[in-house]
Amino acid sequence: MKESCEHAAECLKKLRLILDGEVSEDEQQEFLKKIESCLPCFRFYNLELAIKDSLVKAVPSKKVPQQLIDDIKSKINEAV
């Protein structure tokens, strides 16, 4: 297993996208295969996963009013 990762910043970005569910299943599987041989990425993955799980358990889930969602999307579209 590699002790260092020459692409650590890129891997961390990809890892966060994976944990947020923003990548395809193929990309996720590719990354999970990579971390089998890369110790730093394996550690990043487990740490980020633990943090996400802790936050999910600690922060109650609340339904956001649709009007608020619409207002935010509208403001984003205006800014773009």
Q: Is pTM, for the whole model, over 0.75? A: no
Residue 38 DSSP class? B
Cα-atom radius of gyration of the chain, to the nearest Å? 17
Q: Mean pLDDT of all residues in the chain? A: 91
pLDDT in tens, 35-74: 999 999 999 999 999 999 999 899 888 899 999 999 999 9
Q: Which residues pair with 38 in a beta bridge?
A: 2
Contact 8, 40 (CB under 8 A): yes
Provide the residue ranges of all domains of the chain, joining segments of one domain with +. Answer: 8-79
Residues belonging to the chain: 80
pLDDT over 90 at 79, yes or no: no
Per-residue CA distances from 15 to 23, 28, 36, 68, 78 (Å): 10, 9, 14, 29, 30
